[in-house]
Amino acid sequence: MKRGISGALLVAMAAAAAGCGGGTTVNTAALREAQESGGTEAHVMRVERWRLSNGDPWNVVLVKAKFCGTKNGFTAPKIHGRCLPVGVTFFIRPGASTGGGADFAGYGNEFKVARAWKARPAFRIFPDLLGVLGRCEIPRAGGGRVPGLCETKLNDTRQVAFLEHWPLSQPPGSRNTAGWIVTLDRSARPISVERTGSTPPQAGA
């Protein structure tokens, strides 16, 4: 999965472990962060590059691992005494060997986000990872784009929210917020999409 770069916006570029140059270093750093957080049997699922809300570029790495202890403040659910693997988003600065934070998605939530993200082509400007508040270019009805911020959140166990905030020129708290809430069934299939918040620049999507 790849998403293109438009102007100064660095939209998520998915990279396989053996793909883009420098990927090995990023993967190694993310796996080290998972291990130091108490994770076992860790493996990288994908790597994306995002320019976060402050404008800094980061490698965003989705790792799946088992977190049976409380070293990181998170304990995975268990079945028959065995910890279940969960998705964790690690943030790695380009060229760095250590991480700058993590977001623990919880069991199965990364799969729910991925299914909801595919519900509409318009959602491709949003992160398909939790915990990312990234710069994006919001399509404007009638043409053009509006610089803003995009994020993806879980409203509850069956709802994924794709939210956009604009204009980027305004300080936090003064921006408009609009979005879409995707409701999933028990198998994580999208069954409805509802708009929320202000009228988005791409009204009608």
Would residue 14 count as lying in a domain? Answer: no
Domains in the chain, number:
2
Give the C-alpha separation, 159 to 173, whole Å. Answer: 24
| Strand boundaries in the chain, DSSP class E | 39-51, 57-67, 78-79, 82-83, 85-92, 99-106, 133-139, 145-156, 159-166, 176-184, 190-197
Contact 92, 26 (CB under 8 A): yes
Asked which of 71, 87, 106 is the last residue of a domain, the reply is: 106
Do 115 and 62 fall into the same domain? no
Do 76 and 122 fall into the same domain? no
Asked which of 106, 123, 150 is the last residue of a domain, the reply is: 106
**What is the tens place of the pLDDT at every residue in 157-193?**
899 999 999 999 999 999 999 999 999 999 999 999 9
pTM of the model: 0.80
pLDDT class for 153, splitting at 50, 70, 90? very high
DSSP category for residue 2:
B
- Per the prediction, the chain carries an average pLDDT of 84
Asked which of 74, 106, 138 is the last residue of a domain, the reply is: 106
Establish whether the linkage from the previous residue to 171 is cis, with ω within 30° of 0. no
Give the C-alpha separation, 93 to 99, whole Å. Answer: 7
Q: Is 33 left (phi over 0), alpha (psi -120 to 50) or beta?
A: alpha
Q: Which domain holds residue 175?
A: 111-197
149: β partners = 135, 165
Quickly list H helices, 118-172: none
Do 73 and 139 fall into the same domain? no
**What is the tens place of the pLDDT at every residue in 12-71?**
333 333 334 444 589 999 999 999 888 899 999 999 999 999 999 999 999 999 888 656
